[in-house]
Amino acid sequence: MQILDGKALSKKIEEQVTADSKKLKQETGRVPGLAVILVGNDPASQAYVGMKKKACDRAHFYSVTHEMPEDISQDAIEKTIEMMNDNPNIDGILIQLPLPSQIDTTRLLELVAPNKDVDGFHPYNVGRLTTGLDGFVPCTPLGVMRLLEEYDIDVQGKNAVVVGASNIVGKPMASLLLNANATVEVTHIYTDDLKKHTLNADIVLVGAGVIDLITKDMVKKGAVIIDIGINRASNGKLVGDVDFENVAPKSSYITPVPGGVGPMTIAMLLSNTLKAAQSHA
């Protein structure tokens, strides 16, 4: 069993992004710019935005956070997005999810200029991903693919089961795996007998937000386990969706939580923002 160390790989990617960012500035005078919209006081969202800001600082990016109250109007956020779409110093726009119930999230995601959509949530980029064309890919599944690549885990011809069908993780994860010639099954809350599906998988990728959803009797010996979940246990500890202690001995490779997929998400955000800046230079 080998641990897939996302923390070490994310550091390596960040160093490369920083070097490429400096080169871009020397050659064009352009500094990659990321703008974040943060609505309300959700502690998890604030923590994520804080981590993204620190990563931007380390990579010498320009970054700005638009903090807005919980009761903000749809119109006010739309005006801010339009302003950032028109701002030549901003290469990437990120809307921190989830948003309050009075906000039409879909409309906001569609309003972000596709060439600044570094989260890969705009239908234009979703369509390009699905059809195997270049575009912006959601950072978490992109980070998973980069982690698999780093450890020479070839997904071609493998049976991959994605647990969770969200637009942010599950669906784009399935598209990336399909594009890499894996045989893909997507399971979700309505799937009957999850174990039946995961037991046949060479690679299990789980992002359902349920502590210990995947137990050792649900995976075959030698499977690759990618835990995308992040949950806070009753004792305050951060844990994933996989019963790590008992599943790890059966696996060939496994991601820890924390320190696996999480750091890769932020590394890919930096990478996507640099890509946007290079295309705007």
The partner residues of 184 in beta bridges, in order of sequence, read: 160
- Buried/exposed code over 162-187 (b: 16+ C-beta within 10 A; e: otherwise): bbbbbebbbbbbbbbbbbbebebbbb
Torsion of CA 207, 230, 58, 20, to 10 degrees: -10
Q: Catalytic residue numbers?
A: 52, 96, 119
What is the distance, to the nearest Å, from the Cα of residue 212 to the centroid of all Cα atoms in its chain?
A: 21
Residues 135, 245: Cα–Cα separation, whole Å: 37
The partner residues of 225 in beta bridges, in order of sequence, read: 204, 254
The backbone torsions φ and ψ at residue 95, rounded to the nearest 5 degrees and listed phi first, read: -100, 115
- Cα–Cα distance list, 247 to 186, 212, 215 (Å): 21, 10, 6
Residues 233, 243: Cα–Cα separation, whole Å: 12
DSSP character string of 150-208: HTT---TT-EEEEE---TTTHHHHHHHHHHTT-EEEEE-TT-S-HHHHHTT-SEEEE-S
Within a 10 A sphere around the Cβ of 127, how many other Cβ atoms? 12
**Crossing angle for the helix pair 139-150 and 6-28, to the nearest 10 degrees:** 110
